[in-house]
Structure 1
Amino acid sequence: MVEANQNGFYYHGRINFANPKAPEFYWPGTSVDFIFRGSKLLKILLEDEKGKNYFNVILNNQHTKPYILKCQKGKKKYAVYNNLDASKSYSVSIFKRTETDEGYTKFMGIELDNGANLAMVKRAYSPRIEFFGNSITVGMGNEDPTGRDNMNPAKKNNYLSYAAITARDLGLDYRCTAKSGIGVMVSWYDLIMPEMYNRVHPDKPALKHDFKSWVPDIVVVNLFQNDSWLVNMTRDPNHKKRFKQGKPTPQQIVQAYVNFISSLRKVYPKAKIVCTLGSMNAVSPGKPWKGYIQQAVNLMKKYYKDQQLYTLFFAYNNRKIGHPTVADHIKMADQLKKFLKQNILK
């Protein structure tokens, strides 16, 4: 048994290491990488809170042919490969497809054949990118082309979200801080991004994230889709809670966005921040939300002298039912990759 705290495991994401032998994964896109040699088999030991999480297990960078691991509730050992060539080395990435709604997963290590070991790899620095977003960035329902089964955890795949695709294709160290249903001013539940962005566990306010532990070079924010619905839903309890003085004015909406981006700027003073929106109906023709974001960025550039801010708005996918599909995410990734290469990664 190779326990989770042994050298050779490389972790990505906001992870709770309170117990280093059982680090807890919460966020979509959280992953652990390693290389081993001398084993015909690979077993993975996980403990899952609800039995609803899914992981991609990618062997030797075969991104299009992952082993899809469906977690069972509780502690279980999963035999994912059992007929490997023991004379060869294998690289593995265990990548969380699903999000915090599906609960936590504890990674407790791997099992190899006797005599096998992990390879110690000297890893070169890669530019870092962090995404703050909602269900679009999570990859909610992206493997459901009908749009009618979006809530099914099996249809969520952060690995094929525009965020993960962009990071992977550009060779960026990836982190995803996103939760379905969340907004800047109001969400579909009792939590908004300005209250969540600084947490290790989204539902535990006392467990604060150390922003100095991993500092991104680029931050991408894709928020306001949920706000665009809920600001008009005056009977919704979340609307009533957040807007006790009535529906927010355009000025209040712009200021809320300024306030959140300012919070990110305080913790990431040198990062390039890309303010995005889309590709759902908040960017459809006639909607004001792109304008609110542009106004907020213009204000920050003018009054705060913040010249490390950018805007990029994804094309409206015109999808009447459901969230963006994998095909939509690929288009979004292409748009974002082009923008980053032209404006930031020059």
Structure 2
Amino acid sequence: MKFRNSLFAVVWCLFCLGCASSANSPGKTDTLPATALEPFGRFKVNESQQLELISSAVHFGFSFEGTECQVYASVPGGGGHGYLQYELDGVYQKRVKVAGSAAVPILINVPKAGKHTVWVYKATEAHTGPIAIEKITGQNLNSLSKPAAPLIEFIGNSITCGAAADSSEVPCGTGVYQDQHNAYAAYGPVVARALNANFILSSVSGIGIYRNWNSNGPTMPQVYEKLDFQHNTSQRWNFSTYTPQVVSIVLGTNDFSNGDGKTERLPFDSTSFVNNYVKFVRLVKSKYPEAQIALLSSAMVNGNNRTILQNCLSAVKKEIDAAYPSDKPVAVHFFRSMQARGCTGHPSVEDHQVLAEELTPFFRELLNL
């Protein structure tokens, strides 16, 4: 009897020690494959089952527990570099440089253990090249979906990309073009966050409606349907992926540009501009028949050109409204003039905040918020 009691006591002690050890041990590291993520923006899953982030500010979210997780990212083909940026528990953190074809872990540390949320954004634009996500590792990982909310698609040029806006790490005039990109801080995402709306950016630096800043094309109407906004790309974007309530178009800055001084540049042609703009709006409406179209001018176009641009946009509105009498009338917003403080004449992060504050009431009214 004493033997049985002693044996029971030993077994019970071992059981209790096992429980205590299990309770105090760190959680098991999980792996969340890229295919389990739910990106918002233009993307594709490549043959290696990596998630390629394509458009400016395309983003995805996940949650984890503990004090750290790792995001494995690379540049397909290994050429050049791009940037990611992220929010942790709703607070913006920083940009992270991504280079090389081998997936390297980006470590995200948290001072206090618990459940945390992360939203990762692509800081650079489509023409810089995609950034591939292979997997995420950490404890108790879960992919996050975007909350149900109105969606705005922002179509535009380098300003919409957030290009040349952020010189906090790489000063203006140094590095390469994408080193100052900050899509998260561009006016579109800032407006969307202020309105608790969702957003996607369809933007290309230097692009215009009938001509680009230093060339005759390919222009936005020629590349909008392409997955990565590249004219020679065969893969097209699936426009049924998202259904925006509002489509904002900000094009014209580059059409008015004087170019690079090397390529022949003819005087601005209002007729070509309006005709091409009308065709493009028709294209957008064919993709999103129920969306409200909003045409915005440019805070960077001043003087007589400013008046010409506004008149052109008014002409586009008039023609589209007449062609679609049962649709919502095209909304138009003329920016206040701005002296940009970013790199190469672009708005800075602070300037984008000013633009967003000007635009927020306009989009609030369009969304009936």
2:59 to 31, 34, 37: 31
For residue 90 of structure 1, report the CA deviation from its aligned partner: 0.6
2:329 to 308, 319, 326: 308
Alignment correspondent of 1:17: 45
Alignment correspondent of 2:229: 202
| Rounded Cα–Cα distance in structure 2 between residues aligned with 1:133 and 1:83 | 36
Residue 226 in 1 paired to residue 254 in 2? yes
Aligned-pair identity (%): 22
In 2, are the aligned partners of 1:148 and 1:322 still within 8 Å (CA)?
no
Residues 1:295 and 1:233: Cα distance change in structure 2 (over 3 Å): farther
SS in 2 for 1:5: helix
- CA-based RMSD of the aligned residues comes to 2.5
* CA displacement, residues 53-85 of structure 1 (integer Å, 9 cap, x when unaligned): 11112110112xx13211122223234224554
1:2 to 6, 28, 32: 32
Residues 1:22 and 1:263: Cα distance change in structure 2 (over 3 Å): same
The aligned amino acid for 1:46 is A
| Rounded Cα–Cα distance in structure 2 between residues aligned with 1:35 and 1:330 | 28
1:67 to 94, 99, 117: 94
| Rounded Cα–Cα distance in structure 2 between residues aligned with 1:223 and 1:150 | 27
Residues 1:31 and 1:124: Cα distance change in structure 2 (over 3 Å): closer
For residue 307 of structure 1, report the CA deviation from its aligned partner: 3.1
Residue 216 in 1 paired to residue 282 in 2? no
The aligned amino acid for 1:228 is F
| Rounded Cα–Cα distance in structure 1 between residues aligned with 2:135 and 2:194 | 28
Alignment correspondent of 1:136: 159
Match runs of 1:44-83 below 5 Å: 44-48=71-75, 49-63=78-92, 66-82=93-109
* CA displacement, residues 150-200 of structure 1 (integer Å, 9 cap, x when unaligned): 954221101111011011111111100101001111113542100111111
Judging by fraction of residues, say which structure has more helix.
Answer: 2
1:99 to 110, 113, 125: 125
| Rounded Cα–Cα distance in structure 1 between residues aligned with 2:64 and 2:115 | 6
In 1, are the aligned partners of 2:51 and 2:133 still within 8 Å (CA)?
yes
* CA displacement, residues 251-283 of structure 1 (integer Å, 9 cap, x when unaligned): 232111111111101111110111012221x24
In 2, are the aligned partners of 1:132 and 1:222 still within 8 Å (CA)?
yes
SS in 2 for 1:125: coil
The aligned amino acid for 1:340 is F
SS in 1 for 2:102: strand
SS in 1 for 2:81: coil
1:165 to 184, 190, 195: 190
SS in 2 for 1:153: helix
| Rounded Cα–Cα distance in structure 2 between residues aligned with 1:95 and 1:21 | 19
In 2, are the aligned partners of 1:55 and 1:95 still within 8 Å (CA)?
yes
Match runs of 1:126-275 below 5 Å: 126-144=149-167, 148=173, 152-187=177-212, 188-189=214-215, 190-203=217-230, 204-229=232-257, 236=263, 249-275=269-295
Residues 1:131 and 1:84: Cα distance change in structure 2 (over 3 Å): same
| Rounded Cα–Cα distance in structure 1 between residues aligned with 2:361 and 2:48 | 39
| Rounded Cα–Cα distance in structure 1 between residues aligned with 2:88 and 2:182 | 17
The aligned amino acid for 1:56 is Q
Alignment correspondent of 1:276: 296
| Rounded Cα–Cα distance in structure 1 between residues aligned with 2:106 and 2:208 | 39
Alignment correspondent of 1:110: 136
| Rounded Cα–Cα distance in structure 1 between residues aligned with 2:302 and 2:283 | 24
Alignment correspondent of 1:336: 359
Aligned residues: 328
* CA displacement, residues 283-304 of structure 1 (integer Å, 9 cap, x when unaligned): 4455311211111111211243
In 2, are the aligned partners of 1:284 and 1:318 still within 8 Å (CA)?
no
Stretch deviating more after TM superposition (116-125 or 13-22): 116-125
- Work out which of the two has the higher radius of gyration on C-alpha atoms and give 1 or 2: 2
The aligned amino acid for 2:280 is F
For residue 236 of structure 1, report the CA deviation from its aligned partner: 2.1
SS in 2 for 1:229: coil
Gaps of 5+ in 1: 240-245
The aligned amino acid for 1:60 is D
